[in-house]
Amino acid sequence: MSDSEYRDIQKLDLFAQMTDDHFASLMQGAYVQNFPAQIELITEGDPSDFLHVVLSGAVDLFSEWNGRATSMATVRPISTFILAATIKNAPYLMSARTLEKSRIALIPSQDVRSIFDKDSGFARAIVTELSQCYRSVIKAQKDIKLRSSLERLANYLLRQQKHVGGGNVFTLDFEKRRLASILGMTPENLSRAFKGLQPHGVTVNGTRITISNQMGLEEFAKPNPLIDDAST
């Protein structure tokens, strides 16, 4: 692991508050690896041997049941995933695959758990991180239980727009098929949902979105901070 990677990881909220000593010993057993795109990093049901940190690239968390699959979330640098499984020493609930060439740090779960016991700054950071994760999933659950697919798409577009600066023209950062899966619909239905948003001032050209009627879209989408704000 390079010095700059070491420092990048240390700067993560999750690790910033722990002692240098503890961080060093956590990194002792860790290693960094490059993966090509479309590699399955972990499989749901497996024991959680490593806490993963995405240093570059992107990772899709997904789940399967009875021949069906759904994307649960996308992890982008620099952040960790499967913290809860690591802490509980329980099997992964989701699988993970690289979406593109990715550089990923692997920290043995055993080390995370034992240092968590020793370092209260680390413990606090873990609590904050887990609360954040929990609240994110609750929001996703509300999104899917309270909104139609058209409404979910509209709100997703507003979130993405805000996320990349708020301009009227912006670009999707997912493949549409994966966006569809994240939003809980089929690719065909997503296509039609984009069409359905045209009357509300949305134009799509490939991956490029133009919002020509901001007010109209917001009036339709009715975004709500308790569902759509990442921070709160």
Question: In terms of DSSP bridges, do strands 40-42 and 95-98 run parallel, antiparallel, or are they unpaired?
Answer: antiparallel
Contact 94, 133 (CB under 8 A): no
3-state DSSP assignment of residue 222: coil
Q: Which of residues 138-197 bind a second copy (CB under 8 A)?
A: 138-142, 144-147, 151, 184
**31, containing H or E segment:** strand 31-35
Q: Which of 54, 50, 38 is nearest to 98 (CA)?
A: 38
> Does 150 interact with DNA (rule: CB under 7 A)?
yes
> Does 187 interact with DNA (rule: CB under 7 A)?
yes
Taking the least distance from each CB to a second copy, the nearer of 163 and 222 is: 222
* Cα 48 from Cα 81, distance rounded (Å): 11
* Cα 51 from Cα 81, distance rounded (Å): 7
In the sheet that holds 169-171, the strands lie side by side as 169-171, 208-211, 202-205
Q: Which of residues 70-89 bind a second copy (CB under 8 A)?
A: 70, 72, 83-85, 87-88
Q: Which of residues 104-123 bind a second copy (CB under 8 A)?
A: 116-117, 120, 123
132 binds, among DNA, a second copy, none (CB under 5 to 8 A by kind): a second copy
> Does 194 interact with DNA (rule: CB under 7 A)?
yes
177 binds, among DNA, a second copy, none (CB under 5 to 8 A by kind): DNA
Least Cβ distance, residue 205 to a second copy (angstroms):
29
224 binds, among a second copy, DNA, none (CB under 5 to 8 A by kind): a second copy
> Does 13 interact with a second copy (rule: CB under 8 A)?
no
Contact 182, 176 (CB under 8 A): no
Summarize as ranges the residues that interact with DNA (CB under 7 A): 148-150, 175-177, 184-192, 194-195, 204, 206-207
